Structures are given as C-alpha cells and as structure tokens.
C-alpha cells in the first residue's frame, strides 16, 4: 500500500482534516526553503541597481544588494516603507481609489493590520529578518477552541463553540471508521496488526469509550467541554455534556472550517510583531531606509544594452524625474505593473498580464470594552461564519485590558468583496456591525468606531495578492521569474508562497542571486 493510497483512504473516510494530519506525519507538507540570506560573493565593481517598491521583497533586495557592494536606490509610491506590511492605528489617514478618505479613530494601543496579520513559525525567511532587525514578536492565537463556528443554515443561526463541533466530528468519524475496521471492511488495505493499531489510535483521536463508541461521558466531555465543570467541595462532581448526533454535525457543514487550522501555514506556533505588522517595515527602515525615495510613482521602465531608465513622478511636488541604473529589481504588484509601459520580451509581458489579483476586504471595529473576553471567555483566535464578513479575529494582545478593544470584524474575499467595497466606507462598517451582531449581540451597544479597507481600491496594489491557477503556472510562472535583459521581477506573485510575506522574501533572494551572477559575468 503506497502513501498515496493511504492518504486517499484517510481522505475518503475521515475527511481533509485527518488527511492533512497524515500528510504532515509523512513529511508531505514542506516548509519554506529559506536556509539563510543569499551569499553574494564576488565584487560587483560598483554596479548599480534600482529597486521598484519598498515592500518586504524590495527591502530584502535593497538590504542584501547594498551589503554586497551595489549602489542601490529604491523608489516607493507611498509615503512610508512596507507596502502591504501595513498597520492602521489611531490618527492614521487612508484614501482609496475614488477619493474616499478615512481617519482611524482607534484608542492608543489598538490597531488592525489591513494586509498580512500573522507569521507562521515555518516562514523561516521572515522570522530570520525579524530577529536580525530587532522586530519583537509575540504569539498570534490562530486557533481558539472557545471561539465560534457559525452558519446561518444550522442550529437556527446560533453560533457553536469550535470545540463542540470538532470534538463531535472527530468522535463520530472515529466511531464510523472503527466499525469499518471491526467488520474487516479494510482487510484489503490493512494487515490485522495494523488494523488493531488503527483501532487503538482511533480511540484516542476520537475520544471513544471502551466499546469504541462516541457517546456522552468523561472521554467526550474532556474534549468538547462539560455540562457542569469539575470543581471543589461537595458540588465538585462534573456533569458530562451531550454530543451532537452524527447527522446534526454532518448536515451543519461547520466541519468545513476545521481543516483550515491544520494547514501547514496556519499551525501553531504563529506570531505577530508587537504593535502591529508595520513593525516589520520599521525594522527594514532602520536597516536600509536611507536607500529609499518615498512618494515616487513609476510611470515608465525602459532598458537598453547598458542599463535601465525609470521615469517617475514626485507625488508631492508633481516634478517628473528619472532614475538610471545598471540593473532593475521590480517588485511592483502585477496588477499595477501591467499598467506601466515597459520594454520587455513577449514572454514576460504575457506573464505580467496573466495573473489576476484577489479582491479582498478587511473591516476593523473598536468596541467600548472587550466583551468577547469578559462575557464569552474568548481570548484570541478566529470565529468563522458563512455571513459575508467570513471571519472575526480576536486580538492576541492586551488580554484582560480595561477600556476599548479592537476586532478584525471582517476578512472576506472573492466576488462578494467587490459588492461590499462598492459601498461607502461608513456603510461597510455598518454592514459588518449588523452581520457580526448575529454572532455577538453585544456589537451594537458596544460599538465605538470602525475603518474598512477594500484591497482592489488600494491605489498601489488594486487587489490583495496574485492568483495563480495550475495552468497559468505551467504557461507563465518561469517566464515571470526569468531575468529579462537587465530586469528581474520579485514579490509574492513570483513565488509558490502567494499572499504571504515569505513568498516575497524567498522570491527576492532568488532574484538577486541570479542577478548577481549575471552582473559578475559582465
């Protein structure tokens, strides 16, 4: 029996969640390939590089190329370093396409990250630069068994604790699979000895009783929670809780949210910078900020046999300027780069135009008090729902604080994000408030203020991140990453770690390594 066969069997019998656990056991889920910063040995003899974009990819390229002896200049559209590594806090102002301007009114210490908001432990490149640049990290609570799973089509729209659904789903699936083993239904793929081992593992995995049943009792309540918790004194005896039936759990379809927390990029430990994701950008700013020219909008990129010329506009003064260099590392998102004149080959040009960007929306809402902690004992973690807001993320900092607290009250993407973002910002916040109240009735009484960012209206990306299909990768990915004359592209779009900062970092290191070899070769 091959690993592929066994994974297929597990997937059919126990679902994607169990299959991914098995994949991790077999080493089929790989981590970031980062092994350390690229070694740019050899003298570039004063060669110059212009880097377009001061996001994480651009700043990694700037830092490492400058260390190797290149003359580096970075052009950045925004008035800050970081790109999508961005934090909104009290006093910040944001203007989107169409001219709508929002002023963040959060209380001191509260914030949301409109872009990346968490760092998986296995994103070794980003972890490396956080450590090197003095970016202090704290734990990000991805999974909280006390948070909710919610569907408008199940349980009368009443949210269910994550632990109830997961425990009951695992338990019932384990019981069903145990029955199949006992009836010798798997004898064609498992030896008798392996079948006995599987039964033993199912008892522990699914919290089954001695008769291999998932029923009300100490084993199941130890997973899903008790009707009455154990205590002290005469009233100390706990009362077991009643599991949901197999039919109820399956038909609720809430089990679809369980697998997301088992993917390799979402497993604990996860981290966040203390004070918001902008701290990553501030770390790069301390190390290489002197190389960056802000408020510089690229309008044209031209290369010739001896170098690259970049036309850009100073967005503050309106002055038209030009930068020249021997080489160019372009980290501008493809959604924007596809609108900029650039003389590259047909293959790269086709690749640039082949990658659409995900529409996405985030809404941050500040409430008068941290009612999710005080009323519902939810400390960090994420609630998932089939409402248009999709997710509610509870802050992984300031636990138990008095006064206002901020939730990521919506993180949705896809077609609905277009509809949601077509509304004025204040109405987006109001809609998120109304939908969230179906999960947390305290929303409306505790509301203080909010801010909403629709990513396809962000002027400098016009989308969240690049979306590849299997077919488009076959046709265009290698062409996108290849050096084209004196230009090379980098960013999360030029990686297999799309939508993550790690993709931008590993892409940048690969790109400058190849550029360096070309430069040394003359």
Per-residue pLDDT reduced to its tens digit, 453-482? 999 999 999 999 999 998 999 999 999 999
Which tens digit of pLDDT belongs to each residue from 237-284? Answer: 789 899 989 888 888 888 777 766 666 556 667 999 999 999 999 999
Torsion sign (Cα): 322, 328, 329, 333: positive
Question: What pLDDT was estimated at residue 5?
Answer: 55
Same domain, 364 and 453: yes
Tell if the pTM clears 0.75, that is, is over it.
Answer: yes
Separation between Cα atoms, residue 355 and residue 461, nearest integer Å: 13
- 55 within a domain of the structure (yes/no): yes
Give the pairing of strands 296-303 and 308-314. antiparallel
Give the CATH number of the domain where residue 343 resides.
3.50.50.60
Same domain, 349 and 369: no
Q: Could you tell me the residue range of the domain that residue 17 belongs to?
A: 1-30
Same domain, 303 and 320: yes
How buried is 451 (Cβ within 10 angstroms: 0-12 exposed, 13-18 middle, 19+ buried)? buried
Residue in the block written with tokens 């550029």 = 515
Q: How many domains does the chain have?
A: 4
- 412 within a domain of the structure (yes/no): yes
Separation between Cα atoms, residue 440 and residue 438, nearest integer Å: 6
In the three-class reduction of DSSP (H, G, I as helix; E, B as strand; rest coil), residue 507 is classed as: helix
Same domain, 440 and 372: yes
Please check the confidence at residue 310 and state whether its pLDDT lies above 90: yes
Same domain, 450 and 512: no
Determine contact, residues 49/515, Cβ cutoff 8 Å: yes
Question: What pLDDT was estimated at residue 20?
Answer: 39
Which of 439, 457, 475 is the last residue before a domain boundary? 457
Using alpha carbons only, how large is the chain's radius of gyration in Å?
26
Same domain, 407 and 426: yes
* Residue 421 to residues 63, 66, 424, 499, Cα–Cα distance (Å): 36, 40, 7, 20
Same domain, 313 and 323: yes
Angle at 229 between CA 223 and CA 234, to 5 degrees: 145
Question: What pLDDT was estimated at residue 24?
Answer: 40
Which of 457, 482, 508 is the last residue before a domain boundary? 457
* Residue 394 to residues 39, 120, 143, 372, 377, Cα–Cα distance (Å): 40, 17, 11, 8, 11
């Amino acid at each position: 029996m091959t690993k592929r066969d066994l994974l297929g069997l597990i997937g059919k019998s126990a679902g994607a969640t169990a299959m991914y656990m098995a994949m991790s056991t077999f080493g089929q889920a790989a981590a970031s390939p980062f092994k350390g910063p690229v070694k740019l040995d050899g003298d570039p003899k004063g060669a110059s590089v212009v880097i377009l974009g001061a996001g994480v990819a651009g700043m990694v390229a700037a830092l490492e190329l400058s260390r190797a002896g290149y003359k580096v200049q970075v052009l950045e559209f925004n008035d800050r370093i970081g790109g999508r590594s961005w934090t909104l806090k009290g006093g910040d102002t944001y203007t989107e396409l169409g001219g709508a301007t929002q002023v963040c009114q959060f209380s001191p210490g509260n914030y949301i990250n409109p872009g990346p908001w968490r760092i998986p432990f296995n994103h070794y490149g980003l972890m490396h630069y956080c450590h090197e640049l003095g970016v202090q990290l704290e734990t990000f609570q991805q999974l909280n068994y006390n948070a909710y799973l919610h569907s408008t089509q199940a349980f009368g729209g009443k949210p269910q604790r994550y632990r109830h659904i997961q425990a009951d789903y695992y338990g019932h699936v384990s019981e069903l699979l145990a029955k199949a083993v006992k009836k010798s239904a798997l004898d064609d793929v498992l030896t008798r000895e392996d079948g006995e081992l599987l039964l033993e593992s199912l008892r522990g995995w699914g919290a089954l009783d001695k008769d291999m049943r998932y029923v009300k009792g100490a084993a199941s309540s130890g997973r899903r929670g008790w009707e009455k918790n154990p205590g002290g004194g005469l009233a100390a005896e706990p009362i077991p809780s009643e599991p949901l039936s197999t039919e109820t759990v399956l038909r609720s379809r809430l089990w679809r949210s369980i697998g997301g927390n088992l993917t390799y990029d979402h497993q604990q430990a996860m981290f966040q910078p203390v004070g918001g994701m902008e701290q990553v950008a501030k770390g790069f700013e301390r190390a290489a900020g002197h190389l960056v020219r802000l408020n510089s909008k690229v309008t044209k990129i031209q290369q010739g046999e001896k170098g690259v010329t970049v036309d850009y506009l100073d967005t503050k003064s309106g002055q038209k300027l030009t930068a020249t260099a021997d080489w160019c590392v372009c980290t501008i998102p493809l959604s924007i780069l596809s609108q900029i004149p650039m003389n590259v080959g047909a293959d790269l040009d086709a690749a640039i135009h082949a990658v659409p960007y995900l529409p996405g929306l985030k809404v941050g809402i500040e409430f008068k008090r941290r009612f999710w902690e005080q009323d519902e004992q939810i400390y960090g973690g994420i609630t998932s729902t089939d409402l248009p807001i999709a997710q509610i993320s509870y802050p992984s900092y300031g636990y138990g604080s008095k006064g206002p607290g901020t939730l990521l009250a919506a993180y949705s993407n896809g077609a609905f994000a277009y509809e949601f973002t077509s509304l004025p910002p204040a109405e987006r916040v109001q809609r998120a408030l109304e939908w969230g109240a179906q999960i947390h009735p305290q929303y409306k009484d505790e509301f203080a203020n909010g801010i909403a960012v629709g990513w396809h209206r962000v002027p400098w990306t016009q989308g969240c991140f690049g979306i590849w299909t299997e077919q488009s990768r076959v046709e265009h990915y290698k062409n996108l990453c290849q050096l084209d004359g004196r230009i090379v592209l980098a960013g999360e779009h030029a990686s297999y770690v799309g939508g993550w900062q790690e993709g931008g970092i590993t892409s940048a290191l690969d790109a400058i390594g190849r550029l360096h070899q070309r430069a040394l070769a003359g």
